[in-house]
Structure 1
Amino acid sequence: MATNEGCKALYVGNLDSRVTDYMLYEIFSVVGQVDNVKIIMDRNYQHGGMNYGFVEFVDHLSAEQALLAMNGRKIFSSEIRVNWAVQGATQKEDTSNHFHIFVGDLSPEVDDSILSKAFGAFGTMSDARVMWDQNTGKSRGFGFVSFREKADAEQAISTMNGEWLGSRAIRCNWANQKAAGATGPSPAQSLSYESVLAQTPPHQTTVYIGNLPHGFQQHDLAPYFQPYGYVSDIRMQAERGFAFVTLDSHENAAHAIVALNGVDIGGRPARLSWGKDRAPGGGAGYGAGAYGYGSGLYPSTCRWSWS
């Protein structure tokens, strides 16, 4: 799991539309010295019509105290949600410890906004995202929805599975099988697609898979990965119980990690993380002597640039 040590920025969700940057600044300044505030308007109804924002403090301790003091407080009768923010192309709530469900059989017209509206009624929804083919720009027919509370995720699965969304009846299930029996959120139980995607550079398309059964071969492993994209290479270390699988895109590889981590393969829970690709134009390859693999989750540097 990415560590929050050193982070100074907080995500603040479920903000009433009347809350301004200045108002949010004044509220959080009660806890510590605020360096920057930005509110994002929910113009496309991605968050049920409620705005969200980011508050950056001058130090980590102040941010930590604000997280503990402000989460669940009411502003204009709306209970705000405060969490650590995560680094990325755009700032967003850290959903790595949330509960994630898979939504399949999506019709082509369903986008992030439609998916968000469909699942927004289930209380603590924190993110809704359709997976897109980067080459064609079309939907891949599935997506993921995240919830802060397991009960809301369970209700969403039981209520929405088989319901019509757009022109098709959708399928809903846990994004990771281990989440179904979880008693509380933890990184080992459910990986966030967003956090996995951000762990390595865009050129990275190789996945490490460990804890494979003895004697497992390429033809045994390939069917597990083929639903997530074109499998261009499989390098087996059968006697050591692991392999490296290369897919056609960074996004597809990330989806495979999220979907297959913990899945029973030959009676064993599979362990997935990023492998190591050769960087574009040369550079380090699979590591000295063998096929190296990353630790799976890298710390965020928590740097921010708001405009």
Structure 2
Amino acid sequence: MTSGPVSSMASLYVGDLESNVTEAMLFEKFSAIGPVLSIRVCRDLMTRRSLGYAYVNYQNVSDAEKAIETMNFDALKEKPLRIMWSQRDPSLRKSGVGNVFIKNLDKSIDNNVLHDTFSTFGTILSCKIAQDLHGISKGYGFVHFATEEAATNAINKVNDMLLNGKKVFVGKFIPKTERLKLAEETAKRFTNIYVKYLTEEYNDQMLRELFQSFGKIMSTKVMIDDKTGKSRCFGFVSFESSDSAQKCIEELNGKKEMANGKKLYINRAQKKAERQEELKRRFEELRQKRVNRYKGVNLYVKNLNEDFDDKRLADEFSTFGTIKSVKVMCDGTTGRSRGFGFVCFSAPEEAQKAINEMNNRIVGTKPLYVAFAQNKEERKELLNAHFINKTNSVLRAEQIPTPMAHSHHPPQLPSHPHLFSAAINPAAAAMAYAANPAMALNAFGGHRMSSNSWNDMRRGRRIKFY
């Protein structure tokens, strides 16, 4: 029998959901086990799109245990569910106690196979195979055991074993903060260096002679072009000690000039993933600097006439302050204005004054629209917020009951247990209950509600069944 970490709670976490899975679909599946108190699909605050996981609260702990045992990895919308006990206390997840990391997994191994492989060592709280955007395994995963003893036993028994013909690594999970700290310490103790801007005639022996004065060299390798047989002008040197590698970088990087007129670039050798991560971090830093540099001084101007160019746009805004740059966006084929452009001032006060004076002013034949320029993320967030507000307004309008001047009967509710979902018309449900409580309760399959639930429904809030 599976036992949850918190026996007094019957709350389950359901992950790996398709984006179109709703509370009603989950209720239909999980209520087959026993009475369900509530279901919530977690959604993005701005877009209201599903985040791919939900919480299911049962009335009885035994029903929750049965759901984990019998329904884990069942398919919903052709995608297997991942069910585990809900951990309200994040300290257990973040502590790393009982958590195991597995890598070099065959791509055919899924969550179900991983669970079956490691369940013999103890109670599993959760297990997951890391996947890419297309749902394909990345070759590594995690298993969280209820006890540290079970995790240690799994590491001792499975590490270096063959799974589907591949030798897997199984070890203790290391939190990200500790991994970063460990990576920094490892980086300081490097012995391999990367060298570029060599000349084409360089070979392994010449590279060794160039660096042998800094310490004992274990190996050298100049990368060769397969077609021409000539040097690709970069290579690698492996020293015996990290002190030798660091000294080499300090004394030669950017200082040693080669016959081709270029100065040697020497740095610590990095793996491809590490280089990509560093480039990504640098790009993000540069992007953020660029955003901050123009924040509050860069204006977006639209509704420009087709004959507008940079000079005319600058003339229109020059009275408000010092303009650092101006650009009218033009069509690539015709060269005519696309009707919008940008004006960058030297100070925020100047930009604000330009907005106050020029927004809605008629220039040429059209009233200009002038506002602070926004980046792609800001525009997307603003559009999402506008869409959500508009959708909510429509929903609220639809929920207003139609007056029935010649009818003495309240609106009828379908007798279906799934009506706890957002599809309910709260106002109609409240009217039905006020007129005939027994009929209204029967419409919900006999489920009992808390004393404030009908008021909550009338106000459009989520309700719970008991």
Query: Normalised by the shorter chain, which TM-score bucket?
Result: 0.3 to 0.5
Q: Give the TM-score normalised by structure 2.
A: 0.27
Which structure is larger by alpha-carbon Rg, 1 or 2?
Answer: 2
TM-score normalised to the size of structure 1? 0.38
The structure with the greater share of residues assigned to helix is 2
Structure number with the higher strand fraction is 1
Q: Which of the pair has the greater relative contact order for Cα pairs under 8 Å at 6+ separation?
A: 1
